[in-house]
Amino acid sequence: MINIETFVFNPFQENTYLLYDHTGECIIVDAGCKQQAERDKLTAYMEEHGFRPVKLVNTHCHVDHIMGVAYLARKFGLPFLIHPAEKSLLPHSMKQADFFGLSLEPPPEPQGFLNEGDVLGFGESELEVIHIPGHSPGSILLHCPGQKFLISGDVLFRESIGRTDLPGGDYESLVGGIREKLLPLDPATRVYPGHGPSTTIGDEKTRNPFLR
């Protein structure tokens, strides 16, 4: 069974997720911990529970989602995994940091890529990779059908969707991808977004004004 711990980090109030199972292995999804206090909080939680981080996974590479990637990759020797279409966005993330007056240590080169239909494994657990461009070219989601949950990044929020006015954004691709790949999922599927509270696929079918 996969367990999910949520940490809200950095000035953008970004959701960083720690996923772990009974083996003690864990993955960190969208490491947004910028301040040392945030990084200490995440690492202390893992150490307290005896977790062994094995992978850094990013749903996409906008600045608010990669603020802790370089630090954690260096500290734990973790591979950095993204969709191949996100690699070209990494330089833009550095420019985003400059725009907001933020310092950002450049993330490492990706050590692996996640594409539509791939299976991401850790411990004795597996997650299916879904690719939905539109918020960014390589936005991915991590789906666990057995436990009915979805890590959605900035593709789908409670009663909203990701913005599409950033480089590589496309409204039609985003909404079309959500309708084609997410709305057919079990309505009870719990959605854990990149910002804000969780929701369900069923709630978004009926309440999300962008999907009616």
Mean pLDDT of 183-190: 98
How many Cα atoms within 13 Å fall on the side-chain side of residue 178? Answer: 26
Model confidence at 211, pLDDT cuts 50, 70, 90, reads very high
Window from 38-47, 91-100, 105-114, 184-193 with minimum mean pLDDT: 91-100
Cα separation, 4 vs 1, whole angstroms: 10
pLDDT of residue 90: 87
pLDDT of residue 104: 87
pLDDT of residue 100: 81
pLDDT of residue 96: 82
Say if residue 91's pLDDT is above 90.
no
Query: For the chain, what percent of residues have pLDDT higher than 70?
Result: 100
Cα separation, 10 vs 33, whole angstroms: 6
Higher pLDDT, 206 or 93: 206
Model confidence at 203, pLDDT cuts 50, 70, 90, reads very high
Q: What is the pTM of this model?
A: 0.96
Cα separation, 140 vs 128, whole angstroms: 10
pLDDT of residue 23: 98
Say if residue 95's pLDDT is above 80.
no
pLDDT of residue 30: 98
Cα separation, 199 vs 155, whole angstroms: 13
The domains found in the chain, sorted by start residue, are 3-207 (3.60.15.10)
Strand 190-193 with 199-200, pairing: antiparallel
CA dihedral over 210, 81, 151, 63, signed as positive or negative: negative
Cα separation, 128 vs 134, whole angstroms: 19
Residues 6+ positions from 206 with CB-CB distance below 8 Å: none
Q: What is the DSSP string of 38-92?
A: HHHHHHHHHHHHT-EEEEEE-S---GGGSTTHHHHHHHHTPPEEE-GGGGGGHHH
Higher pLDDT, 181 or 168: 181
Say if residue 94's pLDDT is above 80.
no
Strand 14-20 with 119-122, pairing: unpaired
Strand 125-131 with 160-161, pairing: unpaired
Residue 51 near residue 26, CB atoms below 8 Å: yes
Query: Between vectors from CA 198 to CA 92 and to CA 196, what angle results, nearest 5°?
Result: 45
pLDDT, tens digit, for every residue of 9-22?
Answer: 999 999 999 999 99
